Structures are given as C-alpha cells and as structure tokens.
Amino acid sequence: MKDETLSFKYAIMNKCTKQYYLGTAREKLSDNFGIHSIYDPVFTYTEKGAHAKIARFPEFFKDCEVVRFLP
C-alpha cells in the first residue's frame, strides 16, 4: 500500500546565489530569498508543488531550481 502522507521537504533555491525562497512577495526580488534562519524560515513544498510554483511565476523564479530541504 502506498503511503499517502504529503511530504513538504522541497524548497526553491536560486542557483546563482544559493539562497532559498522565503515564501514572500516583497517588491525587491532579492528580499524574497535568503538563508534559513528562525527569523526567515525557508518556505517548503511537496516536490510537485514546488515545480508548480515555478511554473506559475517563471520570470520570478527564472534562475531557480527545486531542491530537497531538511533544516
């Protein structure tokens, strides 16, 4: 039997800066990415969800990739 539990272990990372998407929509693009911290936690997705997010906003995530993220 297949495990149907959702796994939010994926993040969107900028390939150039190696910083993670923080789940924000700030005006300055670079303010939406950072390193994992208690003040700016990395926003995580299912693998499918992360790819869907990039597909919905291709210009915003143009230099990004989906990576497995375990803090």
Q: Is the pLDDT of residue 2 over 70?
A: no
Residue with token string 């919905």 = 56
pLDDT for residue 40: 85
Q: Is the pLDDT of residue 4 over 70?
A: no
Classify strands 33-34 and 20-21 as parallel, antiparallel or unpaired: antiparallel
* Dist. CA 1–CA 55, nearest whole Å: 31
pLDDT tens-digit readout, 11-67? 999 999 999 999 999 999 999 999 989 888 999 999 999 999 999 999 999 999 999
Domain ranges within the chain, ordered by starting residue? 19-68
